[in-house]
Amino acid sequence: MRHFNILFIMLVISVLTACGTKDENTGSEELVPLEVEFSVPETAEVDEEVKLIATVTYGEESVTEADEVTFELWEQGMEDESTMIEATNKGDGTYTTETTFDHDGIYEMFAHVTAKDMHTMPKKLITIGEGASSNQDQEHEHSEHADGFAMHFVEPELVTAAEETSLKVHVQLDDQPLEEASIRFEIWNEETPDNHEWVDASEATAGEYSENFAFPKAGTYQMVIHVENEDGLHEHQEFEINVAE
């Protein structure tokens, strides 16, 4: 009986020690954020060279080999006509490009950064020349998203009829990945505008949602990405996809 008691005590001690070790390990596995400091001047003149700088860090480590750093620019209210510029990697955690603006206006831009299996896209504004007139502000008001909301659809390079295509979107709120949201792709062909298909996306990583879809035939398709969450957020944005034979 005494031998049994000793064995039981030793077993209890082993279990408690294992639990303590597990708790210590769990506590040490802190989530390290991918941080991007996006430097853009507040103002510039028409045709003046403007330098955009993204400084990428992971914890205290400079990210010298990001998977992707791309700057997306558009005139305020005209996001559907945005321009993508690939950044130059300086090899020290900074990624840069230079650009100019050919007329007065307020311009918005993202620094799209993918690294360490994460995606982030800080946003900045720059005023060129006199900025936007009051008439321009009224014209573009309808296209504004909720404060702090940002969406980036990763447009597939080649879409072929009857072959599965990965539809992927990144969403953020207040410069942080928007997690546990409901994302739906609404898709229809221009030739059959009354026939809409709905595709629910799954969250692959924080703020990144994707799903495969096979477009049934060649042609031009419209797609609206709907974003909702339990806090009452409801955003959407429309895209056009050309599908080859």
Residue 28: what pLDDT? 45
> Is the pLDDT score of 4 beyond 90?
no
Strand partners, 230: none
Could you tell me the two tokens for 211?
């799903």
Q: Residue 101 contacts by C-beta under 8 Å, 6 or more apart in sequence?
A: 44, 46, 47, 48, 50, 107, 126, 128
Nearest to 185 by CA among 149, 210, 207, 208: 210
Rounded to an integer, the average pLDDT of 75-104 is 94
Mean residue pLDDT of the chain comes to 86
> Is the pLDDT score of 134 beyond 70?
no
pLDDT band of 242, cuts 50, 70, 90? very high
Q: Where do the domains of the chain lie, and which CATH numbers do they carry?
A: 34-144 (2.60.40.10), 150-243 (2.60.40.150)
Report percent pLDDT > 90 for the chain: 68
Rounded to an integer, the average pLDDT of 151-167 is 94
Rounded to an integer, the average pLDDT of 85-109 is 96
8-36 pLDDT tens trace: 555 555 555 555 544 444 444 567 889 99
Residue 16: what pLDDT? 52
183-206 pLDDT tens trace: 999 999 988 888 999 999 999 889
Whole-structure pTM value? 0.69
Contact criterion met (CB below 8 Å) for 215 and 242: no
Q: Residue 45 contacts by C-beta under 8 Å, 6 or more apart in sequence?
A: 128, 129
Residue 18: what pLDDT? 52
pLDDT band of 133, cuts 50, 70, 90? low
> Is the pLDDT score of 113 beyond 60?
yes
